[in-house]
Structure 1
């Protein structure tokens, strides 16, 4: 199937630091991810961060990462730590976990 091979699909994991819980950040992230055609999840961590896992075309994942680092996010993003890898599959839709 076109567009699903490992050359074009990647996995982005982004740990978002700042005031990002209780402000609609996961919902906002889900909306951006779905607009970009990505699958994955955004979930709160006990230490106050949000971890975002997204799979799809590299350009779409790059767009999501730019949005996460942008100035229009809910709350306050201090910094984002990102990790890139090969798409693993098994993700369906984009959920707020």
Structure 2
């Protein structure tokens, strides 16, 4: 099972949109664990990811895409062809657009 933050897994399984900055940041970030006491003997444990990096170039996108595609394929094996087609399409866009248009 690919290792993604629970929030990203939830979005993938619900077929919600995914921000690749979130995926890329989860690879290159610090996890902050925090427990908040909300009453006597009652507390909430929070795990948050502090965003440290944004997708600003093709290489970043490919790294985030690989994590995303691996997770989607794990959850939905029938989407393999669709994932490969989209990867080829985006790679072509990166190759024909000047780098200042990449982000």
TM-score (norm. length: structure 1): 0.32
In terms of fraction of residues, the more strand-rich structure is 1
Q: Decide which structure has the larger Cα Rg and report it.
A: 2
TM-score (norm. length: structure 2): 0.30
In terms of fraction of residues, the more helix-rich structure is 2
Q: Work out which structure has the larger RCO, using CA pairs closer than 8 Å and 6 or more positions apart in sequence.
A: 1
